[in-house]
Structure 1
Amino acid sequence: MTQTPDTRPPDTPTTTDAAPSGMAEIIDTVRTIAVALAAAVAIQTVAFQPFTIPSASMEPGLVVGDYLVVSKFAYGWSRASLPFNPPLPSGRLFEHLPNRGDVVVFRRPSNLQETWIKRVIGLPGDTVSVSGGAVTVNGQALSQRALGPGLDLDAPARPVEQVEERQVDGRAYITFDAGHGLEGDDRPARIVPEGQLFVMGDHRDNSLDSRWSGDVGVGLLPVTNVVGRAELVVASWKPGASLWKPWTWFNLRPGRIAHRIR
């Protein structure tokens, strides 16, 4: 019996190789996507995580629509730093306390599913009081300097005054004051317990913070609830922008791109 010679070029694949080759490409694609997702999750868990500003309590430094980056390694890691706040032991790995004046993102003690942002005013052991809107820490009033009228983007018709507040170490930032005799303007002296922080919003008359009990505002903030330190506003979108409205994606505030958080 005469055998018919195979006239195909030596590198030509047979039809039986097509299916395994196509499957290999699919597996490679899935593997690449999985590695990329794992890297993104690892970066957000260990190093940096993006957040958006949902309220006006940190005006004028941070406004609704700001998209900012939070450093997770600034204070070490706790279960609050991890996605979904898993039920791990309390405490922080490589713990570093925040500095007074730091802007921190944290899980609200009364509802761990809510992520809030405020400024650290008092550390464990500090005595904090508020009188006539002026903050005193350990018997020393934080210096304030009036800068004139400001614009409350959350309620443009509400008159506010810009006030530069300065920490004892010289760190300065701008706060909003909506007038005298308002509810949060006076609070008696309070010693911050071990493992807790006293936090306030920069929009002093539009912030539910440590001046209020935990069922209304923040109350005293456990250090373990801190997610990280707010570092940089990457970009900021004007009101009305939405992921589901592509024509609004470039409706940006140019002056707030790469804006360092004070």
Structure 2
Amino acid sequence: MADDAKKGNAIVETIKTIVYALLIAGVFRTLFFQPFWIPSGSMKETLLIGDFLFVNKMAYGYSYASCPSVIMPGIGINIDAEDICGMFRGDNSRLFGSEPERGDVVVFRHPVTGRDFIKRVVGLPGDRIQMRQGVLSINDVPVELTPDGVFTETFEPQGPQGTRPRCANGPVGQGGACEKLRFIETFPEGGSHIVLDIGPQSMDDTGVYMVPEGHFFFMGDNRDNSSDSRLPQSAGGVGFVPFENLIGRADRVMFSSAGRSMLFFWTWRGDRFFKAVE
């Protein structure tokens, strides 16, 4: 009987340890850092498919979107942040809130679908944003674009989704060199980053977007392969993103996998460990 009691106590202690660990992990993920794995090429070459990073959730304070989502379709788990913290949604405010700066790379919740997106902030509340012949204009001032060579990658399926890149020199056969024009984009008030271009596209010329108060305008660095604020939500885009939908700022890539899983350590990119996000 004593042995049975000891076994029972050991099982209870194990369960308690697991529960405590999950609670601690949940609090840590809610308040401090959230892991994020880059699934698409919309932020190339700043972020590549397979980059793994932690999102700084302290950067902009906390809202309903700070609560973690747990989505594991393989075992039927689909817990959304709104399921846990939806009661706090709606007033577009944040606890200890701090607005992002232009140029920040931010993870946010899509205003309609709730999916996590990662893009660059290009428009702040009250800004006038427009694309003119492929050049971003902020408050009627075009950004500075400096040619910086060519970004080259292999034309092949990338990441778990097996998507193939779009190329400026296409069509390109399997295993061929896929090229995009590379530019350094500098905002009128300073701050530079790399953007990619594959040639004239429908979203290279747009009307003027007036960013509402309490909202932000996002774009991907891979400009011709990004679903972002240039398209309204009704057309499958992102539209203007409310302040309360921001999750956090991406500061540094921890490691990166060029394979179909981040567990395939032989496909890890050695030059991207702890790489700063610029």
TM-score of Structure 1 vs Structure 2, range by shorter chain:
0.7 to 0.9
Q: Distance in 2 between matches of 1:97 and 1:54?
A: 26
- What are the within-5 Å matches in structure 2 for residues 1-262 of structure 1? 16-83=1-68, 84-86=80-82, 87-89=86-88, 90=90, 91-112=93-114, 114-152=115-153, 154-155=165-166, 157=172, 158-179=178-199, 181-215=200-234, 216-241=236-261, 248-262=264-278
Structure 1 alignment gaps of length 5 or more: 1-15
Letter aligned with residue 149 of structure 2? G
Letter aligned with residue 81 of structure 2? N
Aligned partner of residue 187 in structure 1, secondary structure: coil
Aligned partner of residue 207 in structure 2, secondary structure: strand
Q: Distance in 2 between matches of 1:200 and 1:151?
A: 21
- Displacement of 1:227 in angstroms is 1.1
Q: Distance in 2 between matches of 1:152 and 1:249?
A: 20
- Displacement of 1:242 in angstroms is 5.8
- Displacement of 1:202 in angstroms is 0.2
Q: What's 2:77 paired with?
A: none
Q: More displaced, 183-192 or 69-78? A: 183-192
Q: How many correspondences in the alignment?
A: 241
User: Going by fraction, where is helix more abundant, 1 or 2?
Assistant: 2
Letter aligned with residue 229 of structure 2? S
Aligned partner of residue 2 in structure 2, secondary structure: helix
* Cα deviation code 1:38-90 (max 9, x no counterpart): 11111111110001111111001101111111011110111111122222233
Kept in 1, the 8 Å contact 2:186–2:193? The answer is: yes
* Cα deviation code 1:116-166 (max 9, x no counterpart): 111000110111111111111122222111001112562464531110011
Letter aligned with residue 150 of structure 2? P
Kept in 2, the 8 Å contact 1:59–1:152? The answer is: no
Aligned partner of residue 205 in structure 1, secondary structure: helix
Q: Distance in 2 between matches of 1:49 and 1:28?
A: 28
Which structure is larger by alpha-carbon Rg, 1 or 2?
1
TM-score using structure 2 length: 0.82
Kept in 2, the 8 Å contact 1:60–1:152? The answer is: no
Kept in 2, the 8 Å contact 1:144–1:166? The answer is: yes
Q: More displaced, 211-220 or 82-91? A: 82-91
Letter aligned with residue 211 of structure 2? V
Give RMSD over aligned pairs: 1.6
- Displacement of 1:17 in angstroms is 2.9
Q: Structure 1 vs Structure 2: percent identity of aligned residues?
A: 37
* Cα deviation code 1:188-247 (max 9, x no counterpart): 22210011111100000111111111132111111111111112111111133365xxxx
TM-score using structure 1 length: 0.86
